[in-house]
Amino acid sequence: METVDRFDTTLTDGERYRLLIDAVTDYAIYMLDANGIVTSWNPGAQRFKGYTAAEIVGSHFSRFYSEEDRKAGLPARALDTAVREGKFENEGWRIRKDGTRFWAHVVIDPIRTTSGRLVGFAKITRDLTERKAAETLLRQSEEQFRLLVQGVTDYAIYMLDPHGRITNWNPGAQRIKGYRPDEIIGEHFSRFYTEKDRLKGEPQRALEIATREGRYERESWRVRKDGTQFWANVVIDPIRDDAGQIIGFAKITRDITERREAQKALEQTREALFQSQKMEAIGQLTGGIAHDFNNLLMVILGSLELVGKRLPDDPKIASLISNAKQAAERGTGLTQRMLAFARRQDLEFTPVDVIALVRDMMDLLQRSLGPSVSVDTRFPLKLATARADANQLEMALLNLAVNARDAMPNGGAITIGAREEKVMAGSTSGLKAGRYICLSVADTGEGMDKATLSRAMEPFFTTKGTGRGTGLGLSMVHGMMEQTNGRFVLKSEKGEGTVAELWIPIAKETQAESSAGNAAKEAEEAVRPLVVLAVDDDGLVLMNTAMMLEELGHKVFEATSGKQALDILRREEAVDLVITDHAMPQMTGVQLATAINDERPGLPIILATGYAELPPGSEIGLPKLAKPFRQQELSQAVSAIMRN
């Protein structure tokens, strides 16, 4: 192996310095004479300035400066500074041989003899173009981030020191929280928390979680400068130095109050839709049960009535029949409530003076409620008339009053009031736009918790205990109001009583009183014996109807389907009247009536049904006989249609 001497004693000091300077390639190290002429040139100078020693030695060093700097006298000023101050140092743009620029760090030192005479200058230049570019990019990046943060107004973006004190503040923070930078910088961020959260130590816990887990995120209430609260999404991230030490926190807050309210409204809408669908499903089931139950009750009532006329005058037998009829009539009342909930009962809409209706009921209400309950009314001096079924409205009001009484076992007060309200389009109440009478029944009773309130209108749901209620009172009111195109609203809190509101559409001024039901009030007139076609798919109901008609002196043909009825009509031309059930398979009563009108125009038809609302096709204007009907009601219906 070749041995290299660590120190060659044959070299002079000057030779050693020359070797040192020539070995440096990262710095341009060269000398100038007293006038600035280049007198030496090292490889480093050649590498990043581009000139060989032969090309540059003897030239003035000013050629490395830009045209602007030369005109400004910067080269001469650099030498003057070095002479005067013993050193010149700065950074600036310099020019390479090929005309390109580079960012240079320049140091010029004066060279003097031992006597102090200036003989030239030592000049060291370093190419810092890459560092300059990196610094420029960093500065641009920092400026962009500053502009970004300052340009954000939907988010509060600011920094905290390690102790939670605010160190900067963006316009978004000022907009959301209300503080100007001079008001809040230097303050502790806990002032944005509610008093309750501060007492629980939430601010400090947030910083601890961010430090321990690397991030903290929560949604909760925050407080603005004016004291108002907003629902905030908060993110806190720790900021660490190169050694991993916490030097502060980055905090981003967004006001999401509107989003939270929209979410709550959506959840309420979903819940309302679910409740509506549930009630609709229960209504469909209830309506179907009530329809079948009506048929059974009709057979029982009709048969009892006919049997009662044929049995001997025995008081004991008459008492038993009377008891059976009363039980059946109570069942009829139950089915009417079920149909009311299912919105399938017959309603007779007329203009109703709500104030007069309530005043006429006061004696009945007071007797029904007992002496431990006081009833008060609060009405305006003038109130528009409501479009409602007066009888059903009375029943609903009585139901609500009895419910209120039962909620006050130790007595209390009931207040019945009314006011006019206007509902605008798009209202969250679900009501159509228009004017309404809000009839309210308020009590001072026990009130209901949220779980009970949510189920209060469900059929058969009751809190009264076994034997003290059917659970159909409120559901009947709900169904009646839906059928009226109004709304039944219950408001209650445990221990705060209950307010029940009936929102009833206001009657049009031109609306005349319905003539429906007048026939039932007129005295029954004798009708000649008729040939009647009775149609019903239920054999028991059909037999019962036929027997009642025959009892009235009419001849009856029986059909169990629409097709059989048409066959009889084509065979028996002497038929004077058709009485048909509606809810029949294959061909409904309305469809049968349409077919009869095509073949036998003008033939009177009565539609027997337990439903108030019929599907499309009922516009042919058929008179209806509500099930269950007794012989007297059947006779009145026959008399009314034959007189027309």
Give the tens place of pLDDT for each residue, 149-181: 565 567 888 889 999 999 988 888 888 999 998
Residues 354, 461 within the same domain: yes
Residue 265 located in a structural domain: no
Phi, psi of 508 (to 5 degrees): -70, 145
Residue 469 has pLDDT above 50, yes or no: no
Query: pTM score, two decimals?
Result: 0.38
The overall average pLDDT reported for the chain is: 81
Q: Are residues 354 and 500 in the same domain?
A: yes
Average pLDDT estimate for 522-551: 82
Pairwise pLDDT comparison (637 vs 477), residue with the higher score: 637
Do 166 and 103 share a structural domain? no
Amino acid identity of residue 458, one-letter, is E
Task: Give CA–CA dist 591/582, Å, rounded.
Answer: 9
Q: Of the candidates 95, 128, 161, which is a domain's last residue?
A: 128
Average confidence (pLDDT) over 360-386? 87
Give the domain-ending residue among 298, 322, 341.
341
Give Cα separations from 57 to 36, 64, 106, 127 (angstroms).
11, 13, 19, 20
Note whether 228 and 328 are same-domain residues.
no
Q: Are residues 614 and 570 in the same domain?
A: yes
CB 382 within 8 A of CB 419: no
pLDDT at 106 > cutoff 50? yes
Rounded Cα–Cα distance for residues 18 and 223 (Å): 73
End position of a domain, from candidates 291, 310, 341 = 341
> Which residues on neighbouring strands pair with residue 352, listed in sequence order?
386
| CATH code for position 241 | 3.30.450.20
The tokens describing 81, both together, are 């500074």
* Residues 492 and 526 reside in one and the same domain: no
CATH of the domain at 358: 3.30.565.10
Answer for the pair 401, 368: CB distance below 8 angstroms, yes or no. Answer: yes
Any alpha helices (H) in 464-622, and if so which ranges?
473-483, 518-521, 539-551, 562-571, 589-599
- Residue among 339, 329, 336 at smallest CA distance from 285: 339
Q: Are residues 374 and 470 in the same domain?
A: yes
Name the DSSP class of 506.
B
Question: In terms of domains, do 491 and 530 share one?
Answer: no
Is position 526 within any domain? yes
Residue 393 counted as domain residue? yes
pLDDT confidence of residue 523: 38
Residues 496, 355 within the same domain? yes
What is the per-residue pLDDT for 582? 86
**Domain limits at 157?**
152-255
- Strands (DSSP E) along 147-273, which ranges? 155-160, 216-223, 229-240, 246-255
Contact predicate 44/91, CB 8 Å? no
Look at residue 142 and tell me if it is in a domain.
Answer: no
Q: Rounded to whole angstroms, how far apart are CA atoms 195 and 563? A: 79
Domain count within the chain: 5
Contact call for residues 324 and 303 (beta carbons, < 8 A): no
Residues 476, 380 share a domain: yes
Q: Which long-range contacts (CB under 8 A, 24 or more apart) does 308-314 make?
A: 309/551
Establish if 266 belongs to a structural domain: no
Asked whether residue 164 is domain-assigned, the answer is yes
Which CATH number do you get for residue 589? 3.40.50.2300
Residue 355 lies in a domain: yes
86-94 contact pairs (CB < 8 A, 24+) = 86/110, 91/128, 91/132, 93/66, 93/69, 94/49, 94/64, 94/65, 94/66, 94/125
- The answer to whether residue 5 sits within a structural domain is no
List CB contacts of 499: < 8 A, sequence separation 6 or more: 440, 441, 442, 443, 490, 491, 492
Q: Walk across the sheet containing 624-626 and list its strands.
A: 555-559, 531-535, 577-581, 605-609, 624-626
Q: Is the pLDDT of residue 505 over 50?
A: yes
Q: For 114-123, 465-474, 509-518, which range has the lowest pLDDT when averaged over its residues?
A: 509-518
Judge if 571 and 438 occupy the same domain.
no
Same domain, 250 and 313: no
Whether the Cβ atoms of residue 540 and residue 563 lie closer than 8 Å to each other: no
490 touches 508 (CB < 8 A): no
